[in-house]
Amino acid sequence: MNLRWRSLAALGAGVLALAVAGSATPASAASAAAAPNAVGNCRVTAAHPFPVVLVHGTFESSAMWSQFSPVLTQAGFCVSAIDYNSLQDIATSARQLATFVDQVLAASGATKVDIVGHSQGGMMPRFFLKNLGGAAKTHSLIGFASSNYGTTLQGLATLVGEGGAVFVGLFCPSCRQQIQGSDFLNALNRPTDVVPGVSFTVIETSADEVVTPFQNAFLKGAGATNLLVQNFCPADAAGHIALATEDQNAWRLALNALDPAHAQPVSCVAETNPI
């Protein structure tokens, strides 16, 4: 087997591993708390005028938010979580998000939402903001380990080349679109990766084993805030999934971004899950 085909097989194995990891983690989280509702039934308040829309990543579902959603609710936020086919074309997912946001606004009485996403869920909403009128309906976008500039999957995506990307794209168009340097990401990030009027925050871990290099999560546009959890808690070893599903240090950074007027110090709770 030549290098190209060995690399292609390895990429397939990597994608399968992500599928297993993405499906296993929400299951364990679901045991801790019920999955969040699709469209929440609460009305916004003066203290928290923007409902939070949670957007899961590739191979995940809204169940991944089972531990973080109650934290947001306890803090006084209206919370809704979308479920979408994360393997489909990302533009299609963004259109579904646009419909979902309209439903949340109607149910909550708000004029804008705060979007909190993980991985693809932190990147895909930028298509909604840039191309589907979402900027007028969004106050902030906060991403955990967002795939903003794609991934090399530890270099495998680069090794397999365009032919391998086509193979992956046959069963997971969004996977192909999230490869570093894809046409989709190039278009999304030009001429800038942010849009006026929306606050952008990215929370990332240097232990990210999915978005590689981990710096690919960070935005480059003026005004974007990029936060590396290890700059606050050097011993934090959270991986790509744990960063959003269980890392209380990352959660605090997200809560501070949602409500900067009442920001609190990060307490550096131990987080050792490398997944």
pLDDT digits (tens, 9 = 90+) for 5-42: 334 444 443 444 444 334 333 333 333 344 566 887 88
**Based on the structure, what is the number of domains in the chain?**
1
For 230, counting Cβ atoms within 10 Å of its Cβ (0-12 exposed, 13-18 middle, 19+ buried), the class is middle
pTM for the whole structure: 0.87
pLDDT > 70 fraction of the chain, expressed in percent and rounded: 81
Does residue 4 or residue 91 have the better pLDDT? 91
- Minimum mean pLDDT among 42-56, 165-179, 187-201: which range? 165-179
113 and 105 Cβ atoms separated by less than 8 Å: yes
Mean pLDDT lowest for which of 69-78, 135-144, 166-175, 213-222? 166-175
| Single-letter residue type at 57 | G
Where are the extended beta strands (E) located within 49-181? 52-55, 79-82, 113-118, 138-144
The answer as to whether 35 is a domain residue is yes
Distances (CA, A) of 172 to 12, 215, 217: 11, 24, 20
Q: Is residue 274 part of a domain?
A: no
Average pLDDT of span 211-239: 97
C-alpha span between 205 and 233 (Å, rounded) = 10
- CA-to-CA distance for 166 and 74, rounded, in angstroms? 44
DSSP state of 259: -
Mean pLDDT of 220-236: 97
Whether 269 is in a domain gets the answer no
Residue 159: per-residue pLDDT: 59
Is residue 239 a part of any domain in this protein?
Answer: yes
Check whether 160 has a pLDDT greater than 50: yes
Here the CATH number for the domain that contains residue 206 is 3.40.50.1820
Which range among 53-62, 154-163, 171-180 shows the weakest confidence by mean pLDDT? 154-163
Identify whether 120 is part of a domain.
yes
Cα distance between residue 243 and residue 60, in whole Å: 14
How far is it, in rounded angstroms, from Cα 67 to Cα 32? 7
Whole-Å CA distances, 28 to 2, 65, 105, 217, 273:
39, 11, 31, 26, 13
Report which of residues 18 and 130 the model is more confident about: 130
At 166 the pLDDT is: 63
Question: Does 275 reside within a domain?
Answer: no
Inter-residue contact 187 to 121 (CB < 8 Å): no
271 part of a folded domain:
no
Domain hosting residue 114, numbered range: 3-262
Helix, strand, coil in percent for the chain, rounding step 5? 45, 10, 40
SS3 state at 215? helix
Q: Are the C-beta atoms of 39 and 82 separated by less than 8 Å? A: no
Output the CA–CA distances (angstroms, integers) from residue 75 to 62, 112, 199, 227, 254, in the order listed: 19, 19, 20, 21, 12
Instruction: Report which secondary-structure segment, H or E, holds 25.
Output: helix 3-30
User: What is the pLDDT averaged over residues 245-270?
Assistant: 97
Yes or no: say if 166 and 176 are a contact pair by the CB < 8 Å rule. Answer: yes
- pLDDT, tens digit, 9 for 90 and up, residues 32-75: 344 566 887 889 999 999 999 999 999 999 999 999 999 999 99
* Mean pLDDT for the chain overall: 87
Task: Choose the weakest-confidence range: 2-16, 100-114, 121-135, 206-220.
Answer: 2-16
221 backbone φψ class: left, alpha, beta (φ>0; ψ -120 to 50): beta
> Are β-strands 225-228 and 113-118 bridged in parallel, bridged antiparallel, or unpaired?
unpaired
